Structure 1
Amino acid sequence: MAAERADAVLRWPQDLGHSTVQDDASFDDRALLAPDGARSVAAAHGLPLDAIDALAAQIRARLRRPPYYTVVRGVGFGSGALLFGVLAGRIGRLAHPYPDPSYTATRILRPRESARMQGWGVLTEWLHTDSANWPAPNDVTMLQCVEPDQSGGGVSLLLSLDDALEEIKDRLGIAAVDRLSGEVLPWAIDDGLGGGELRAVPLTQEGLRWQPFRVATAVERYGSALPHRDTMEFIRMVDTVMLSSARLHRFFLRKDDLLVVNNRRALHARDAVPDPARSRRRVRHCKVDLTGPPAEGGGPARARAADGD
């Protein structure tokens, strides 16, 4: 298992946190959803938009090349969601399809609240892409460490799609890669978006949709048909191969570290937290859509995996 890649770390020389108000924990982040909302919010709070835009440009550039994620250090985010939300809104457009006005654009994730599913355990401990339960998954996922786990748990795990496909091809054969781009699977759609299922292949030219428990949910909740009797066994085998890959990157997010992931070109997870009920780990999270393609190159991902085969 590999450590974080040096070329994935972005050390930002300017602490932007001093520019935020001291108590912005009650900041209404839905203001960021308005057209050009991030610019308006930054102006209202006196945030240095030029510096934020310079950082946003660097992040976008990192997301377009391997390993398709970046860890940003040195920013300083203050006490709440203000700077985090404005930065997200300058990287792209906050992805927030929920009509319910009580849904916030950013949220805090805590281990004790992590979703679980029988047969899968803690869902965030499996490599996944976000929003597989949305009709159109988001382009970018942002995770800011507000406070790390005091026992060193919750180590971040990252695997680029290119590395994942190479691993699958090496250990399961090219036929397994073909299945990912050829088998139409049922994906349970979030109840907040109307529920039901969407049928789609996991792997396309646009990237990967991967949260196997969404397929399991569709089967259990809606009786959705699978393409083959061994489909769930195959999915679990792919999951296990990816999670045990020597190509997997792992690193511990410290306070104010920001992890930004190209949600089309990389999978992410975290390892177990020893005591979820007492863990102080808090991670601020949001999803972003880009106005342009999140990855360079135009060929299908599966074609790259099959090169030289």
Structure 2
Amino acid sequence: MSGNRPDVVVVGSVNADLRIEVDMLPRPGETIHGGSPLWLGGGKGANQAVALARLGRSVALVGAVGSDQVSAGLARQLAAEGVNIDRLATVEGPAGQAVVFVDPSGENSIVVSPGANGAVHPDLVRRAHDELAGAKVVLAQLEIPVDAVLAAASATRGTFVLNPAPAVPLPPELLRRVDVLVPNRGELAQLCAAQPPATVDEVAALARRLPCAAVVVTLGGDGALVVAGDTVRHLEPPAVTAVDTTGAGDCFCGALADALADGHPLVDAAAFAVRAAALSVTVPGAQASMPTREQVLVLPAPADRHPEDRMEVPHDAR
């Protein structure tokens, strides 16, 4: 990789998103009419890398695109955002693709076809060993094969953050290597083989069942819950008008990684991420909605249920 090593390395997916506005999200067996289709850059890895770059963070993306013109455009778009793509491989076939339906309230349903993301194998990740080992934070998701995520975790010497989306069964070896796990309610429930939690207390109880050092559960319009040991912190977001929630979770993960790279305590990092994610839902699209640092800092801080309690990021000895 040319130049200085990045503060944050994102290991994950790159997609071409087809966004369609609908009056209501389709139910099984139902055909509905949608608005004009709009092609946008997406993929959880790419979205999180763009979120970091928009915040001014030095960031590199480890992943893969295809050999088609769509893939070439996605790579150019990432580079234009300031993401280092030296470790973005090109493989035969199409790019990953996602179809995103968005209803008038901003809620979405997404179907993903892996494409080139399925070719992100452990050997590809290991080629970026020096960057992974030198990064302050490594951030991964699950739109690439799990064994590639494990390879990234094994190479990490800083803080390893995993966004377990979409939720799939994870080997205990991987979970034990996670410093900060960032699921939403549904993903948390699937990881714990439980019913989706209805209350903050139920979220905390499920989070404690996981062997990770710390868990930050994104709660949509209810903000986020930080759980580490006996400490539970509920951070409520500032009031905003949601236009499109696509990419909000990715914005949260990127902003969390950004703040952790600066050495902020986990609760403070999560509070910054809550503000960034709240701002992102006010703009349509995923990557297009990622805010700058200046935009985030003008928002009021989220309400903190336990302001007297501060904790550092737990970090297990590897």
TM-score bucket (shorter structure): under 0.3
Higher Rg of the two aligned structures: 1
Q: TM-score, normalised by structure 2?
A: 0.26
TM-score (norm. length: structure 1): 0.27
Higher relative contact order (CA 8 A, sep 6+): 1
